[in-house]
Amino acid sequence: MVTNDGLSVTTLERMAFLGPGTIKTPEGLRNCEDYVQAMGMTTALEVQKRVNPIIESMNSTSLALDYESWTTSGIQPWIAKREAILDRIQNYLHIGTYSVQNDNQIVERARLKGITIESTSIRWLAKHRHDGPLIKLLLEKRNVEQLLKRFSTGLPSPDHSGVSLLTGKWDAYSSYSGRISASHMAMTAFPRAMREYYVAPDIDGEKAVYVSFDESQIELRLLAGYANCSKLLSQLLLGEDVHRYFASKLFGIPEDEVSDQMRRLSKKLIYGTIYGAGANRLHEISFKSNLEVVSSPIELVKQLYPEMLMALRRFRRANVVWYGLQPTRIPPKIGSTWIPLATKQNLSLQSASAMLLKQALVRLPDDVRIVNIIHDEIICWCKPSEIPLVLQQVCKAYELAATDLHYRLPLTNLIKLQILGGN
């Protein structure tokens, strides 16, 4: 069942925070739409109705992949990694080259050595990966083999020119936060290495390229704007490196002495805070990095960005769902199951990010050729000469979308541009 605006039952169930399969009749569908609006989700509903035709149109778009080059050269690092893992298993168990290829033979040889492996499923291996080095190696082997299968033999067969067309079946509201995703071909999970092997078809006989327009630190920007976090807003507006600055305070050194590893830890800690990590979890992340910090991560966040923490506490402690940086009248549960506190905290920002992307898609001119959306990244197909114009159009679309949704969004360096393979 769908509404007159093309919204599916699943979409409305998720917007209403109902369990799957709750709506069973056309009347139930109509009542659910009324409920969504009455509970404070009118803006989200309007944005979804506007973007739905755009997402539907993407079911006929594809990314063109140089299949032969990818399957012979692109996946070589995975093949080499698999061989290295097999060598380590072979040495550990002292078995032959052919035996180590077979999971059942590995399990049997392990049993003879007193090592019990109850299952070779990735789920079981992942759960028990800390039980011993062999289980961890077997998990690594299974993961690499799954990737090799999925992204070689699992890809669509190439056409006469050697091009494999990667096409998704799109869901315009794939989670309770409203994120866009694709099934059929897991387009959101394509390895980044594959990007070097895309071959954009010509446009009007002229060479063309795929271009990625990726949002930079979008949830951090949305939170800074909503919370009116003065220091963070200033840093983002000036284009400063927030993570490098935080690392300098964390380690008590000048910014120009911050290493890449230090910056990565800083980023983990800041986003850990946004995603609901408490003081103990932040300390654990810091401890596991093997880097010696001079300041408590949570105390440093409190000192530098107190407004940010106040906003996060507001989301976390609310007795209703916060969606798109606004409180609704929906209780914080899905069906009859209460939403965990950290998830509730994340939901407001994740839904705001999803709505911003959708409204930006609506605001883009019709002649911008969108071929893929990966979380917070838009991939377009254009001539090289058109790239500056399309970048300008994407940036303007985000500016207009933020205004439409009443988001205070620092726009400096918001969009990162990357030309994908085929250039």
Residue where one domain finishes, among candidates 97, 128, 153: 153
Residue where one domain finishes, among candidates 284, 304, 324: 304
Q: Which of 11-20, 189-198, 244-253, 256-265 has the lowest mean pLDDT?
A: 189-198
| Residue 147 in this model has a pLDDT that exceeds 90 | no
* 399 within a domain of the structure (yes/no): no
| Residue 187 in this model has a pLDDT that exceeds 70 | no
Higher pLDDT, 322 or 194: 322
| Residue 189 in this model has a pLDDT that exceeds 70 | no
Q: Please, which pLDDT band fits residue 276 given cuts at 50, 70 and 90?
A: confident
How many other C-beta atoms can be found within 10 angstroms of the C-beta atom of residue 382? 20
| Residue 390 in this model has a pLDDT that exceeds 70 | yes
User: What is the percent of the chain where pLDDT is above 70?
Assistant: 97
* 411 within a domain of the structure (yes/no): no
Task: Read off the pLDDT of each residue in 36-40 and give the average, rounded to a whole number.
Answer: 96
Phi-psi region of 11 (alpha: psi -120 to 50; beta: other; left: phi over 0): alpha
Q: Please, which pLDDT band fits residue 179 given cuts at 50, 70 and 90?
A: very high
* 129 within a domain of the structure (yes/no): yes
Q: What pLDDT score does 101 carry?
A: 87
Average pLDDT, the chain: 92
* 223 within a domain of the structure (yes/no): no
| Residue 98 in this model has a pLDDT that exceeds 90 | no
Q: Which of 5-14, 202-211, 228-237, 357-366 has the lowest mean pLDDT?
A: 5-14
* 375 within a domain of the structure (yes/no): no
* 269 within a domain of the structure (yes/no): yes
Residues counted in the chain: 423
| Residue 8 in this model has a pLDDT that exceeds 80 | yes
Q: What pLDDT score does 320 carry?
A: 97
Task: Read off the pLDDT of each residue in 379-392 and give the average, rounded to a whole number.
Answer: 96
Q: What pLDDT score does 6 carry?
A: 80
Task: Read off the pLDDT of each residue in 373-379 and give the average, rounded to a whole number.
Answer: 87
Q: What pLDDT score does 117 carry?
A: 93
Task: Read off the pLDDT of each residue in 163-187 and give the average, rounded to a whole number.
Answer: 85
Number of structural domains in the chain? 2
**Nearest to residue 282, comparing CAs of 300, 297, 301?**
297
Segments forming the whole domain that contains residue 114: 66-153
- Contact between 312 and 273 (Cβ < 8 Å): yes
* 245 within a domain of the structure (yes/no): yes
Q: What pLDDT score does 305 carry?
A: 96
Residue where one domain finishes, among candidates 304, 324, 344: 304
| Residue 423 in this model has a pLDDT that exceeds 80 | no
- Determine whether 12 is exposed, middle or buried from the number of CB atoms within 10 Å of its CB (0-12, 13-18, 19+): buried
Q: What pLDDT score does 183 carry?
A: 75
Q: Please, which pLDDT band fits residue 251 given cuts at 50, 70 and 90?
A: very high
Q: Please, which pLDDT band fits residue 184 given cuts at 50, 70 and 90?
A: low
| Residue 215 in this model has a pLDDT that exceeds 90 | yes
Burial 13-36 (b: 16+ CB within 10 A, else e): bbbbbbeeeebeeeebbeebbebb
Q: Which of 199-208, 278-287, 319-328, 347-356 has the lowest mean pLDDT?
A: 278-287
Q: What pLDDT score does 345 carry?
A: 93
How many other C-beta atoms can be found within 10 angstroms of the C-beta atom of residue 8? 17
* 72 within a domain of the structure (yes/no): yes
Q: Which of 220-229, 248-257, 285-294, 388-397 has the lowest mean pLDDT?
A: 285-294
- Contact between 257 and 247 (Cβ < 8 Å): no
Helix (H, G, I), strand (E, B) or coil at 412: coil
Summarised one tens digit per residue, pLDDT across range 322-360 is 999 999 999 999 999 999 999 999 999 999 999 999 999
